[in-house]
Every structure is written in structure tokens, then in C-alpha cells.
Amino acid sequence: MNSPTTFTPVGQDELDWLGTDPVPTRPYYDPEWFELEREAVFRRSWQQIGHVCELPENGSFIRRELEVLGASLLITRGKDGEVRAFHNVCTHRGTILVDEEAGKRSTFSCPYHMWTFGLDGGLISAPDFEAFHVTKAECALPQVACEVVGGLIFVHFGKPESSLREWLGPYANKLEMMPVARATTFSEYVYDINANWKLTYDNFQENYHLRFIHPSAAGPVTSPDNPFAYPTAYDFHGPHRSQRIWTKPDMDPPTGVQAMAFQRGAVCAMSDGILGTETAKDYLGLFPNFFLFGSPMQHFSHTVYPIAADKSRGVIRLYWIGEDETPSERFAREYFMATARDVHTEDRAVIERGHKGLASGALEYLHFQTQESLCRHLFNMVSERVEAYRAEKEGVPA
């Protein structure tokens, strides 16, 4: 049965403000540019770093490494239930305080000379402290700004110009409406990639590649009137952006094991009350490096952590509400995780190939079409910040 032609792509006129010029390639591989990004982008932005379900109880903690800023973070839930972030660095002589990735404790002792800190970062005790020339209050763990929206934990290493909520604007509400806000657990897979973080991130904010790179997954979601499965809308707020995913109206129903996974998964999503929500088709890209897809059945986040100009790490999480309540739910969740992993596998391979080509220096410019406008927007946002930082450093007005 053929559906009427209903799809209209977002027009270029709506996106003209982003510009149409070719985009210089250097920022996508140049180590010097990457050095500037560390400060201009990553020290000056809120960054997504975890979820409150990782800190289920007072005394829970996680350790997170943020290579882009050479930082190790200790994130705790205090006796008062507050989530706080600290540099995971002993204030005596700088030793990394906590080794474990996660756990539950009431104090943290440094192995070197046994300085002991509380969940609120305060120095509780230190052997022979009388011999020092400083007060305990001056020796608290250095705190990092930390705020939670929609269950997602964000940190800011500089002095935030605005609260996380203000910075996210209307997207804060969207996060609160999505299942992630109520998630209690997740599935996670992680990949390392020899590619710049922007190239990696860009892959996930254009649909132009779907039918070529994901032939098996993209087949069912494209149609003659939307052969590239372009989104129905783009939206921008400050440095953030989003798209509304288009779904084929007359999609063939799945068959075989896939059909069973969808059927069982839908029952679970229904009982969690997350089917048919307003945000189900929203795919948010929060600056600088975080995605969240509102789909209730495959509600995944994807963070691309920069490591070097040519190295990144992707962390994908499918957030779930409640533990596996039934064997059917367990089956559906494992199947959906494996499905998403298959798709991301295909992306990873082609992104590395893209980085290699650009890093050869063969091209001075790359090209973004209308339906790659989210990539262009990321480039604009990053280069604005890098240029401003550069000007500031050199003492010339931007």
C-alpha cells in the first residue's frame, strides 16, 4: 500500500543563517586547534558526565576520567542526599584519591599519608596535622560545579555563566519529560575511535549517510518521498540543537525474532507509561558532546569524549525504568541494546575512515549540505568559542 507523498524536507531558507560556505578542515584534525578547544569549549561548558541512578544511596560515589581536561572527578551523594563533584585529588600533595570506579563509602582516605575526606569533600582527619601550617577548612577537596537535570549529571570546570537549567533553556523541560528523568538503570557499551570528537559527533547528527552505511536498518525507515530519512524539523537553542525524527507512515511490520522483541518491549514500555510521549521523536544534541534520543523503546544517550585531536571515546547508554521485571523485558532490553550496537558499529568504522582522509591534509575544505546543518551548527559554535578565546589570549578584541 502506497502512502500519499507527505514528507517535506526542511528548506534551506530556514537554515540560511548558519551560512553556506565550505568549512575548513583543519579544526577537525589539527592538534593546535584541539588544544584551544580544551579551554574554549570544554572548560567553559556544562558537560554530561553521569546519571543519578549511578548514585542510588547516600554515600554512593563514582569516579570519572575526563581526558580532555586531564581531570579525574569524584562524584558523591552526600549524607544530605546532594550530588556533588570534586577533583579526585588529595589536597596534601596531589595524589589521586580514589581508585575504584564506583562504590559506597562514608569517607575517602588517601593511600599516601592517610588524609581522610568526607562525602562533602571536607578534610576530616590527617595524621600529625598539627605540624602543618594550614587549617582543615582550607584543605577541602576542590569542588567542581555540578547540577542535575532530567536525572542527568552535568559538571562545569570553569565558572558557569549561567545555571545548567538556564543554559539548556527549553531543552531542560524536554529532558525532564523523557524516560531518562525516571531511569533507574541502563545498558552501556563503549568504543574507542581514532577520530576527532567533532567528526565522530557529526556522524550522529546527519541522516544523509543512513541508507549507505546502515543498509539493513535504514531500508525500513526510508520511502520514495523521503529516500534519506531526513528529519521533519530542526531546532536550535544557543549552542544546542535538535531534530525531529521522521517515521515512515506505512512501515512494514517487523518479522521473526525482531517482531517478538518489539511486541514484548512495547508491553513493558506501556506499563512504564513511556509510550506515545510528546518527546518520543526528539533527538537532542546538547553542546558540546552529548546526544539523547527520546524514543521510548530505544532511549539512548551518546556522549563523545575527546581524548586527543585524533582520538575519542564514545559511551552509549540505553536508559531503563526499573530492573528487568520479567524475562520478556530482559529479552527485549538485550535485543534493543544489541540492535543499537549493530548500528553504531557501522558508524564507527566509517568515521575512522573519514578522519584518516581529513588528517592527511589533502583537503582544505569540506562541504555540508542543507540536511547536514546540525554539523554546520556545531562547527559554528565551536569556532566562535575558539576564536573568542584566541582573541582573549592574545589581548585583541574578537
Partner 1 sequence: MSTQTLLPEGFSGLEPFVTGWALAGSAARAGRRGASTPEERAAFHAAAAGELPRALDYLDAKGFAAFDDADERLMNLMLSLGHVALAVEQQKDAEPRHARDRAHMHITRTPAGA
Among 244, 341, 380, 390, binds partner 1 (CB under 8 A): 341
Residue 187 sits in the site that holds partner 1 (CB under 8 A):
yes
- Cα–Cα distance list, 368 to 19, 199, 288, 384 (Å): 10, 12, 19, 18
Beta carbon nearer to partner 1, 233 or 338: 338
The owner of cell 552501556 is 188
Residues between 329 and 348 that touch Fe ion (CB under 5 A): 347
Beta carbon nearer to ligand FES, 115 or 379: 115
Residue 188 sits in the site that holds partner 1 (CB under 8 A):
yes
Among 5, 14, 82, 113, binds ligand FES (CB under 6 A): 113
Instruction: Classify residue 306 by burial, with Cβ atoms within 10 Å: 0-12, 13-18, 19+.
Output: buried
391 binds, among partner 1, Fe ion, ligand FES, none (CB under 5 to 8 A by kind): none
Q: Please enumerate, as own/partner, the contacts of 352-360 that have beta carbons within 8 Å and a separation of 24 or more.
A: 352/193, 352/194, 352/195, 354/195, 354/199, 354/203, 355/28, 355/29, 355/194, 355/195, 355/196, 355/199, 355/310, 356/194, 358/25, 358/28, 358/29, 358/196, 358/199, 359/29, 359/310
102 binds, among Fe ion, ligand FES, partner 1, none (CB under 5 to 8 A by kind): none
Q: Pattern of binders to partner 1 over 292-321, x per CB under 8 A? A: ----------------------------x-
Residues between 240 and 259 that touch partner 1 (CB under 8 A): 255-258
In eight-state DSSP terms, residue 69 is G
Beta carbon nearer to ligand FES, 110 or 144: 110
Q: Percentages helix, strand, coil for the chain, rounded to the nearest 5?
A: 35, 25, 40
Residue 20 sits in the site that holds partner 1 (CB under 8 A):
no
Residue 229 sits in the site that holds ligand FES (CB under 6 A):
no
Determine contact, residues 24/365, Cβ cutoff 8 Å.
yes
Q: How far is the CB of 210 from Fe ion (least distance, A)?
A: 6
What residues does 155 pair with on adjacent strands?
Answer: 47, 146
Among residues 221, 220, 219, the alpha carbon closest in space to that of 231 is found at: 221
Backbone angles phi, psi at 234, to 5 degrees: -120, 155
95 binds, among Fe ion, partner 1, ligand FES, none (CB under 5 to 8 A by kind): ligand FES
Residue 104 sits in the site that holds ligand FES (CB under 6 A):
no
Other beta carbons less than 10 A from residue 175's beta carbon:
22
With contacts defined by CB under 6 A, name the span among 105-113, 141-149, 242-250, 372-380 that binds ligand FES: 105-113
Torsion of CA 13, 285, 47, 311, to 10 degrees: -100
Residue 342 sits in the site that holds partner 1 (CB under 8 A):
yes
Residue 326 sits in the site that holds partner 1 (CB under 8 A):
yes
Residue 112 sits in the site that holds ligand FES (CB under 6 A):
yes
Tell me the CA end-to-end span of the chain in Å, nearest whole number: 57
Beta carbon nearer to ligand FES, 93 or 353: 93
Determine contact, residues 123/135, Cβ cutoff 8 Å.
no
With contacts defined by CB under 8 A, name the span among 128-136, 300-308, 325-333, 363-371 that binds partner 1: 325-333
- Cis previous bond, 56, omega within 30: no
Number of residues this chain uses to bind Fe ion (CB under 5 A): 1
Residue 199 sits in the site that holds ligand FES (CB under 6 A):
no
Residues within the interface to partner 1 (CB under 8 A): 185-193, 215-217, 255-258, 260-261, 264, 320, 323-324, 326-328, 330-331, 333-335, 337-339, 341-342, 344-346, 348-349
Chain residues that interact with ligand FES, rule: CB under 6 A: 90, 92-93, 95, 110, 112-113, 115
